[in-house]
Amino acid sequence: MKVEGTFVRSRVARRILALFMLCAFVPALTLALLTLGQVRNLLREQAHAQLVHASKAYGLNVYERLLLVHRDLQQMAADLREGTGLGGATPKMIPGTYASLSVVGPQARPVPILGEPLSWPQIGGPALTHLNANESVLVVEPASGAAPRIVLVQLIDPGRPERFALAAELNPVELWGAPDDFSEAVGVCVLAETGAKLFCSQPGPASDSASAASTVPEPARTSDATAQQAMIAGQWQLFLKPKFYAPSWTVIETEPVSAAIAPIEQFTRIFIGVTVLSLLLVALSSVVQVRRTMGPLEKLIDGIRRLAGADFTHQVEVSGSDEFGQLATAFNQMAARLGRQLDTLKVLSRIDQVILSKVDVDPVFALALTEIGALTPAGSAVIVVPESAAAGEARAYRLAADGQQISRITVAPPLLSRIAARPEGLWLDAADAAALKCALEPGAGRGGSLFVLPIMDRGNVCAFTCLALADPAPLADAVLAPLRELCDRVGVALSAAARDEQLIYQIRHDDLTGLPNRLLFKERLSQEVASARRDGRSLALLYVDLDRFKSVNDSLGHTAGDELLEQTAQRMRTCIRESDTLARLGGDEFAVVLTNISGPRAVSTVAEHIVEALSGPFVVGQHESYVSASIGIAICPTDGADSEDLLKKADTAMYRAKDAGRGRFVFFEERMNAEAVERLALERELRQALLRNEFSLHYQPQFDLRTGRITGAEALLRWTHPIRGLVAPSAFIAVAEDTGLIEEIGRRVLLDACAQHAAWQSAGLRPPRIAVNVSGRQFRRGDLVLLVEDALRRSGSAASALEIEVTESLFMDESANAVAMLDKLRQMGVQVAIDDFGTGYSSMSYLKRLPVDVLKVDQSFIADMTDNFDARAIAKAIIKLAQTLNKSVVAEGVETAEQVALLKRWRCHRVQGYYFSRPLAADRFAELLRQQQRPTEPQDEAVSMLPATDAAR
């Protein structure tokens, strides 16, 4: 078995291995040590017990011998007693038992029987009593340099007081035993009560240990440092007192511990061997087990790492069918599925990119078809996009070796309906398949089946994909699901493309007329200008603005206005060629580009046609309306070499056409540019004039024809130009209106007029009501009422001191919200007059409801009324109308006595004009007031004023 080292590097592997070892090693070792200790103790105790037993056996043996000697001595004593005393024959004795034998007495010289003579031992008292009882007394006599001598004393005749006794020194070999009787392993020692060593079977350490031995089986240590051997000792007490009247002896048997526990040594060796072997087995099996676990685990970890690094192709190879094998199989399947999904997602995101970045949807089909090829077992695939569902025309996209191919095919509408009805997909029958097979790769699907999956966009089939499959078995979910997702995304792409197309169309076309709008027009104009310049041709730009469209819009409503604009576009279309461009630039402005023109004559003809076409009546709803067109024409390259320039110049020419009386066309001329430049200069000067306070007010009195008294005054703006001197409003009011400067100018006029009224009053004069002209733009700002209040408050004038002059056009401008503001002003006490009445388009019935106090008949009617019947009729009608509506009426621009006479006849009593007074500077007006306030002769006041008015003229 091969153990690879890599897994040991794994921390988990090391941990598991250590755990395995710990679990096996610690209990085994503990058990081994405990068992060994236990067995060792047992052996030691057993050895001790044996030694005690042996000591006893040995002690009894020695006692037996002592008894034998005692009896022998008794016998000898009896023999001696019965014999002839000490001088008798030598007593019989057990041979070898005695080292020496003597007859001794306390006062007698010892008589040796055997060996060296022995002397009377030091005994007395109780020992003598013991002797007297015919017993032996054992005496241990120390011997210098040798083992003590054991002597037994036996009275020869206890009945005799001389006390002769036999003293026998025992032969140590007979008493203790011959050296051969003892084993080498076990030492035997006999100790006296004093501890003196009487006998030891072994010299040296054994005897030492015997002297040190205790009764416990603890190993004793010999004194020999070299041997340093632990010993076990067992002892037995030999009681000598009863029989031999001597202190007890201790018999000790000793044995080395090693000898005692010798059996365990082998056991230990086997035990350790077995333990080590089992540990090795444990280690080996752990290593194998850990390797079996860690190997697949590491492969799986590696696989996951690769997966994280987007490597979906790597397969984790784990053999076996255990959990790891199953995990690896599942992992491989998962990686493959993820890889597949990621590929699909990539394609989807690339489709999204195409959707977001391009209007052209074709690349989406190529991407989708490539993915379908990878995803499905289809031999060939095609995406069919119906173009006209009714006609069955469709585009078919297919991937060929040389890229994407688009072909036109016919898809029968019933087939399309069937595809739409089966969002889950449809297997085509032979008849249907025939129609589509031609779109597929040549030969594809032959013998196989066609599967169609619809591509939906908001519930409608916008396309479908058709797969040629060799096997007509249903597609697996794992294939069908991403295929559907792909189709959905293609649907989104198609929908987005359609929406983009729609949006682009909307951005570049006018909703109402369907004509190109300003954006597209500018693009086309730029293209046409560039191509005209390149080819050396001319083109004409016609800027067409409808006249009076606003009044139609205001009076008939926006729907009618829209209708009119649509009709205008239709009429204009009839006036131009296919190749020309007609556009609506916004509001009532149209533009035409006439390309490749032969000369101004041709342009004039088209312009004339347009003017003519638009001058006829428009029937909008129930109404018949009339609008005309003012056309400005600029020619490229004569008037401008780029589109912006041409547009500007055509626009300028168009304004000129309007100024010239509308309903006509005007070619741009260079001098128009000069005027435009002048206009700009005027605007700049006006701004400076505001900064430098160059504006002032003149006051033109209004008179009552019956009394001749001043009944009012109109404040008229004057500009004291640093170079040109006094400039009349007609020269700058229009520019001030266009630029919005009129708002600030008008504010100052209001403040000045009110302040002047207050000043005159403070000067003791009785100034009349002052009429101030207010522009429509001031109304549109929305703060006019506040402005008036402010002017009145600042000056301290009453609201009755002020009249506001507005023109009829104000009421046409809904955004000005004029009626509400005028109502408010009238509630405050300010009067409202309609200036230049009769030139606008006020409806008479509407007039009744307007918050107006005064009508000022336009001076054009007054000027013409003496010579022109129409003017006279209109002037008269206005005066009558005012009287009928119970409104005050002022005739302005009265210059002649005839006019005065007529007005008087028509009972128009309020007049204003040069006939009576020109507009006057404030001081001169004050003079006039003063003059009027002087007491006069009672006569016709109007006549009386004439000298004054003459002076004023």
Q: Which residues bind Mg ion (CB under 5 A)?
A: 773, 805, 835-836
Nearer to Mg ion, 355 or 891 (CB): 891
Residue 465 binds which one of ligand C2E, Mg ion, none, with CB within 5 to 8 A depending on kind?
none
Tell me which DSSP letter residue 291 carries: H
Give residue for tokens 């170079």: 723
E strand residue ranges, 108-172? 111-114, 136-143, 146-155, 165-170
Window 763-822: residues binding ligand C2E (CB under 6 A): 773, 775, 805
**If 0-12 CB within 10 Å is exposed, 13-18 middle and 19+ buried, where does residue 946 land?**
middle
Beta bridge partners of 888: 854
Interatomic CA distance for residues 634 and 543, integer angstroms? 8
Pick from 101, 232, 466, 717 the residue near ligand C2E by CB under 6 A: 717
> What is the number of residues in the chain?
953
Measured distance CA(431)–CA(323) in Å, rounded: 53
In the list Mg ion, ligand C2E, none, the entry touching 379 (Cβ below 5 to 8 angstroms by class) is: none
Output the smallest distance, CB 771 to ligand C2E, in A.
Answer: 8
As measured in angstroms, the least distance from the Cβ of 581 to ligand C2E is: 40
- In the structure encoding, which two tokens stand for residue 873, read together? 């009729």
Shortest Cβ distance from residue 846 to Mg ion (Å)?
Answer: 20
Backbone angles phi, psi at 328, to 5 degrees: -65, -40
b/e burial code for range 647-675 (CB count within 10 A of at least 16 → b)? bbbbbbbbbbbbeeebbbbbbbeeebeee
Of positions 255, 432, 836, 941, contacts ligand C2E by CB under 6 A: 836
Decide whether 494 or 774 has the Cβ nearer to ligand C2E.
774
Tell me: does residue 545 bind ligand C2E (CB under 6 A). no
The span from the CA of 788 to the CA of 754, in Å, is 9
Number of Cβ within a 10 Å radius of residue 309: 9
Write the CB contacts of 791 (distance below 8 Å, at least 6 apart in sequence).
Answer: 750, 751, 753, 754, 755, 797, 802
The phi-psi region of residue 537 (left if phi > 0; otherwise alpha if psi is between -120 and 50; otherwise beta) is: beta
Can you give the C-alpha Rg of the chain in angstroms? Answer: 73
* List of E strands, 412-553: 426-427, 449-457, 460-469, 539-547
Q: Is 835 in the site for ligand C2E (CB under 6 A)?
A: yes
When CB distances are held under 5 to 8 angstroms depending on the partner's kind, the choice from Mg ion, ligand C2E, none that residue 595 binds is: none
When the beta carbons of 485 and 895 are compared against ligand C2E, the nearer one is 895
Contact characters 512-541, ligand C2E, x per CB under 6 A:
------------------------------
Q: Is residue 941 at the binding interface for ligand C2E, with CB under 6 A as the rule?
A: no
Residue 255 or 805 with smaller CB distance to Mg ion = 805
The site partner of 448 among ligand C2E, Mg ion, none (C-beta below 5 to 8 Å per kind) is none
Least distance to ligand C2E, CB of residue 586, Å: 27
Q: Shortest gap between Cβ of 877 and ligand C2E (angstroms)?
A: 19
For residue 705, the minimal CB distance to ligand C2E (Å) is 15
CB of 516 to ligand C2E, least distance (A): 39
Start-to-end CA distance of the chain, whole Å, equals 134
Q: Supply the minimum distance, in Å, between the C-beta of residue 714 and ligand C2E.
A: 6
Which of 620, 733, 792, 822: binder of ligand C2E (CB under 6 A)? 733
Nearer CB in complex with Mg ion: 392/729: 729
Of residues 669 and 744, the one with the C-beta less far from ligand C2E: 744
Instruction: Select 91 or 838, whichever has its Cβ closest to Mg ion.
Output: 838
Query: Which residues make Cβ contacts (< 8 Å) with residue 594, sequence separation at least 6?
Result: 539, 540, 541, 542, 576, 577, 580, 602, 603, 606
The entry of ligand C2E, Mg ion, none that residue 620 binds, CB within 5 to 8 Å by partner kind: none
Place of tokens 């490597």: 311
Q: Which listed residue (91, 187, 708, 919) binds ligand C2E by CB under 6 A? A: 919
The token pair that represents 766 in the structure block? 């009785």
User: Measured from the CB atom, is 580 or 858 closer to ligand C2E?
Assistant: 858
CB 885 within 8 A of CB 847: yes
Residue 378's binding partner among Mg ion, ligand C2E, none (Cβ under 5 to 8 angstroms by kind) is: none
Q: What's the CA gap between 677 and 808, in Å, rounded?
A: 31
CB of 753 to ligand C2E, least distance (A): 8
* Beta carbon nearer to Mg ion, 771 or 791: 771
Shortest Å, Cβ 792 to ligand C2E = 17
Site residue total, ligand C2E (CB under 6 A): 23
From 302-310, 495-503, 520-528, 741-749, give the range in contact with ligand C2E by CB under 6 A: 741-749
- The H or E element spanning position 703 is strand 695-704
Q: Could you say which of 177, 600, 729, 840 contacts ligand C2E (CB under 6 A)?
A: 729
Neighbours of 25 (CB within 10 A): 15
User: By the criterion CB under 6 A, which residues form the site for ligand C2E?
Assistant: 700, 716-717, 728-730, 733, 742, 746, 749, 773, 775, 805, 835-836, 859, 892-895, 913-914, 919
